[in-house]
Structure 1
Amino acid sequence: MAKEDTPIFSVAKPGKLITSEDWNLIQRELRYALRHHKHAVAGTVDDTSATSDDAVQIGTDEIADNAVTAGKLSAAAVETDKITDQAVTAPKLADGAVVTDKLADKSVTAAKIADDVVTGIEDGAVTTPKIADNAVTAGKLASSAVVTQKLAPSAVTPDKLSSTVVATLTSQVLESLARPAKWISPALGDLWQTPPQDDNFKFAPVGYYKDSLGFVRLRGVARSSTAGLKGALLFQFPSGYRPSHDLLIPGRILPEPLLEVSEIMGMNFCVIRPSGEIFVFSQMPQTRAGVLLSVDNITFRAEELIRR
């Protein structure tokens, strides 16, 4: 029924019976009012040609932008199954709208996180159980990110090393072993000096170095003008060249002059302390002008390796 079919308003008089025409008129008015009532966007044309008795519903295109706000929706009015896929995008979410307790377990996967989105992670937040197997690859590690201190004991096993890595390491070790030793000449204690070079003997001065395996090696000869030595300081090793415990090493001490020596007399030994000092003890006759101490071939493992 079109709008034009509606009869004009007729005033009912008291005592007048309602006729069939009057009843039909009432139905027409009600049906028209039911179909005609709706909320629409301003400027749209009413559809009065509809034959349905249902109220005309409001279509999505008739709702103005931002007309439906959160305050106009009742609690739980918008359920998950009423939201189309990808309908809720990041720009539509207010800051702080999505908090941890609103996320289902395992709902945020790596594939849903854009590159460089996750920043400001607290120390200790990402623990080993939270990292999936094979999630951390070499391409995701910054240069020098994995250092020795961060590796657990026995973490690097032979099966984790490629043949190229093993070959490179082997080459480096062999190269370091073949590298000429860089001898260090220490400052000797007050009772010691480097023996003079003469036509008979040309001794190397006292020196030391540490090889690539962490062993400290000594060489050379020192001279003391005092025969009886009771803990005379020869020199002191710097940190990184010291033993982890006291070392007692039989001394190689001979009286001067060597050309007059017929036998080795007395007991002689050196003590190397964890603090680096080398002390010399001897029981030589005081009639001797002095003693010569040899440290050639003294070797021990250093307390710690030099970091290269």
Structure 2
Amino acid sequence: MTSPTRTSGRRLASALALGALALGATACSEEVPDRDQAPASSESKATDTTSESPSTEPSETPTDEGDTADDTVTVPVYFTGDTPQGPRLYREFRAVPSDNPLMEAAVLLTAGDTLDPDYRTEWPGAGFASIEVSDGLIVAELKDDGFTSRPDGMSKRDATLAVQQLVYTLQGVQQERVPVQVLLGGQPTSLFGLDTTEPFTAADALDVAALVNVTTPEQGSTVAGDTLEASGVASSFEANVPWEISIGDEVVLDGFATAEGWMDKLYPWETSIDVSSLEPGAYRFTARTDDPADGEGGGPTEDTKEFTLE
């Protein structure tokens, strides 16, 4: 669909979204994140395919295409951000060294090394001694016992979201819905007060992920030319994804994109926006879920990205 004035929405040809996964420690879903949905930029050079399913849904697998020159691979890393439903997962595509992308993604995760200042990590200061794939599991060995207990102020819900932050990231890098086993000294332990005897699996995206996530434009990116390409994933009323471009509190362009679907999972959305009427400078792009209830129930979920128009 196109917006009434400035934008034309286009269906994403290659699926991109977070997969419908079984909650907690249930069996792994067939859906997996995909790296093919990553934006082609200096930070992430892959296409945009993050996790919803290998075919009909977005995925989060890293991609090597275009990255061999500098030995990097683009991977999805999940952070947390505030939404009307409480803290939820947001995804960033990041370029990491290709020799050990699982560990490199975990380093970004635990450091809270986000591009978007609205995001954060539930793992501040934590660390892993090793992360590898073995016997159908992703095995993450903790460096020490500093995060076996729940830190002060962390609720059980926060602890569960922290686990999902790790699971979504590692499965996205691996491109498989493989259970994640967390160990300390080679043995199951407690992680944020949660038992790790059984491997962790990915929870349903609608339970843990933000209901809208912007992939492009990337935070801090520079846009040249008369067209801004915007994309992401969402689960929004009737697949409608309103967007706006603003300077401070002033909205200078607005419209909407149409996602591939809604309700049962996150679906890809994409739109091309004519920005030829805008002066060069710094802008903010915002995408949000549609809100037919006019704020009842907490209001829409949104994601914002600062970018510069040349």
Q: TM-score, normalising length from structure 2?
A: 0.19
Q: Give the structure with the higher percent strand.
A: 2
Q: Give the structure with the higher percent helix.
A: 1
Q: Which structure would you say has the larger RCO, counting Cα contacts within 8 Å and 6 or more residues apart?
A: 2
